[in-house]
Amino acid sequence: MIKEHKKLERLMLFSEVAQALSFTVAADILGISRGHLSTQIRQLEKDMGLTLLIRSTRNVRLTSEGKRVMAGMEKIRLSMLELERSAEHEGTIIEGLLKLTAPMQFTERFLLDICAEFKQLHPGISFSIDCSYTRYDLTRSDYDLAFRATAKPPDNMIAKPLLTYRHCCVATPDYLARFGTPLIPEDIRHHQCLHGQDQENWHFNSQVITVEGWLQINDNNMLKRQALAGLGLIRVPDYLVEKELTEGKLIAVLKDYMHSDKKIYMVHPQLIHHPKRVSAFLSFVKTKFM
C-alpha cells in the first residue's frame, strides 16, 4: 500500500495543477520540474485507479472524478490552514536535527564551519553528518540533503551548484628541485605518485597515465601531509590545497593538462514544503557560496 504521506503529497501537487489547469504554470509555482510533476500526477492516477485530468497539447481539463477530488482537496486545504495557524508560534522556531551527507574533504574544508556558524544563529539545531561517497537515495533515506561532487546531479532532485573546482597535481618546491618538474603528463611515470587505493589512473585532458608510488591510502588529507613532507606528487581537488598553494608550500604542475572544471552540488528532494530548519539551512548555505 502506498504510504499516506506520499499520497497526500501527490494530491497536493494535483491540486496545484487543477487550479492552474497547466503543468507548466503549476511547476513554476511549486519550484519543481514539469517532468517530475507530470510523473507524480500519473502515479497518483495509477494508485487511485482514476483518470483525473484530460491532457491535450494546448490545455488541461478536469474529469468528473478530478473535480470531486479537487473539491475534497479544498476541504483539506482549509483544515491545513487552520492547523498552520494553531502552530504558528512553533513554526517560527528553527530547531531539531539536520541529517547531511557529504564528501569528507568538502566537509572538512567547508561544511563543518558552515554548520558551526548556523548553530550559533540557531542554538536549538544539531547535526548528523555522514562523510562518505555513498550516493544515498534521498527519497528513501532520512537524510535532509546531500552535497555531491558530480557531473550529472540526479534528475529527480533539486540540485544547486555551489562550488566549481578542478583537480591539480602538487608537490613541494624541495621535491621538485630534487626530482625535477614534470612538463608533460608522461613525465610523472618517473615520479613517486601517491594516490588513493584503486586510483592509479590519473586523467590529464584526453590522456590517462597509470602512475606508481610508494603509498596508496584512501584519505586525501593524509596524502597532503605526505606531499608536504616532500615524499611525492599527489593529485587532489584544488580547494583542498588552496592555502598551501597560496603560501608556496606546494607547487602545482601540469596545470595546462588538467581536466575541465567540476562542480559540487547541494542536492535535496523536490518537496512542496521543507521543514523550517531545512529551508533555513538551504538558504544559509547558498549565502556562503554566492
| Same domain flag for 137 and 281 | yes
**What are 153-156's contacts with CB under 8 Å, separation 24+?**
153/265, 153/267, 154/267, 155/33, 155/35, 155/36, 156/36, 156/270
Can you state the angle between helices 23-30 and 34-48, rounded to 10 degrees? Answer: 110
Could you give the count of Cα atoms lying within 13 Å of 38 in the half-sphere of its Cβ? 10
Same domain, 273 and 150: yes
Instruction: Tell me: do 117 and 53 sit in the same domain.
Output: no
Output the pLDDT for position 181.
97
Same domain, 219 and 139: no
Residues 158, 267, single domain; the answer is yes
Say yes or no: 76 and 38 in one domain.
yes
Question: How far is residue 94's CA from residue 87's CA, in Å, rounded to a whole number?
Answer: 13
Q: Quick one: 178 and 242 in the same domain? A: yes
Q: Tell me the longest C-alpha to C-alpha distance in the chain.
A: 81
First to last CA, the chain: 43
Domain boundary residue among 23, 51, 86? 86
In a shared domain, residues 179 and 48: no
Which of 38, 61, 86 marks a domain boundary? 86
Judge if 282 and 154 occupy the same domain: yes
At residue 58, the pLDDT reads: 73
End-of-domain residue from the set 18, 51, 86? 86
* Structural domain span for residue 144: 91-162+263-288
pTM: 0.61
Q: Running along the chain, 290 residues long, what does each successive block of 10 average in pLDDT? A: 74 89 88 90 90 85 91 81 54 84 92 97 95 82 90 85 93 97 95 92 91 92 96 94 96 90 88 81 93
Same domain, 135 and 205: no
The conformation of residue 173, written as its DSSP 8-state character, comes to H
CB 100 within 8 A of CB 146: yes
Q: Are residues 149 and 272 in the same domain?
A: yes
Query: What is the predicted pLDDT for the residue at 119?
Result: 97
Domains in the chain: how many in total?
3
**Closest alpha carbon to 53 in 70, 72, 36:** 70
Residues 242 and 185 occupy one common structural domain: yes
The CATH number for 177's domain is 3.40.190.10
Q: What pLDDT, on the 0 to 100 scale, is given for residue 267?
A: 94
